[in-house]
Homo-oligomer: A and B are copies of this chain.
Amino acid sequence: MQRILVTGGAGFIGSHLCERLIAAGHEVVCKDNLFTGRRQNIEHLLGHPRFELHRHDVNEPFVVEVDHIYHLACPASPVHYQRNPVRTIRTCVQGTLHALECAREVGARLFIASTSEVYGDPTVHPQDESYWGHVNPIGDRACYDEGKRCAEALAVSFARQYGVEVRIARIFNTYGPRMHEDDGRVVSNFAVQALRGEPITLYGSGEQTRSFCYVDDLVEAAIRFMALSEDAATDGHAGSRPMNLGNPTEVTIRDIAELVREITGSRSELVFRPLPADDPARRRPDIGRAARLLDWQPRIGLREGLARTIEDFRTRLG
């Protein structure tokens, strides 16, 4: 049994992670400010003797005596992180600083939820971890993209300067039950629109591609990443090396829309709107590093994952 802190533990990915960690016999402290996280996501865990919920904002420093920390706390969808860009940058940088200080203080290993957004609108496909990215430092998405890049730089600096064991995961699009119905992202938008019989909105031509990882696959990879020894994780480099986690299967936005229509049996029509500023045209992870070091690859196909996700939306919207 390990003592594990999950920041953002009441969020979409965090709640699945808490569930898995509890099921594996660990003691879990879940911190969340419940801005985009929700109490109902972890309600079924609240009575459990090895689970604790702290309402806490990572912009305030914290120290918890644990063995592992999963630092997921940060709004992750444009509609949320653009609501208050100043606060988003603070959460990315100061929040991660506090997680790093806690890890250093108690000697914990630290998983950091970075993002494929550090690659921006990439000029290289697929993206592997050595790609430096293509980000607009003053664009509408900069508060998140640059905040996360800076958080990575900070994490690597803590690893090199103080020997903190950090595992930086660049998480690509993830979907599954408990997604926000109003997070403005493709899967949730399409599912909600289809279930409500409203028109399905595509931005741009719909030919831009994304790759979607089912949340269970992502959580499995995160846990394996944290189980890696320091030698294996750093892979012969000083400090920490980021690792892409995602599903490399590329699909167009339009394909998703069609699949959602099929699964829901909806007759919603497709409507097209202009592309928002700095929206990436393509993004697909090279997961060679994760496959090699974690002996991992995604198992849940898009059709199955979407069916489960839509079932969850149906229950919640019903």
Which residues in A have some Cβ–Cβ distance to B below 8 Å?
84-86, 88-90, 93-94, 97, 118, 120, 132-138, 142-143, 145-147, 149-150, 152-154, 156-158, 160-162, 168, 239-242
Known: A132-B120, A134-B132, A137-B132. A153 touches B142 (CB 8 A): yes
Main secondary structure of the interface of A (DSSP, over half): helix
Known: A89-B157, A161-B85. A146 touches B138 (CB 8 A): no
> How far apart sit A289 and B135, CA to CA, in the bound complex (Å)?
21
Most B Cβ at <10 Å: residue of A132, A153, A157, A239:
A153
Check if A152 sits within 8 Å of B133, measured CB to CB. Answer: no
Say how far A112's CB is from chain B's closest CB, in angstroms.
12
Q: Closest residue to A82 on the B side, CB-wise?
A: B157
Check if B138 sits within 8 Å of A152, measured CB to CB. Answer: yes
A-B contact pairs, 9 of them (CB 8 A): A85-B161, A89-B153, A132-B135, A133-B135, A135-B149, A137-B149, A143-B157, A146-B152, A147-B153
> How far apart sit A240 and B85, CA to CA, in the bound complex (Å)?
14
* A135: B residues at CB distance < 8 A: 132-133, 149
Most B Cβ at <10 Å: residue of A84, A136, A146:
A146
* A97: B residues at CB distance < 8 A: 90
* A143: B residues at CB distance < 8 A: 153-154, 157
Q: Closest residue to A278 on the B side, CB-wise?
A: B132
Q: Closest residue to A237 on the B side, CB-wise?
A: B138
* A136: B residues at CB distance < 8 A: 132
Say how far A118's CB is from chain B's closest CB, in angstroms.
6
* A160: B residues at CB distance < 8 A: 85
Given pairs A120-B132, A147-B150, 7 additional interface contacts (CB within 8 A): A85-B160, A86-B154, A94-B94, A132-B135, A132-B136, A142-B152, A150-B150
Check if B142 sits within 8 Å of A146, measured CB to CB. Answer: no
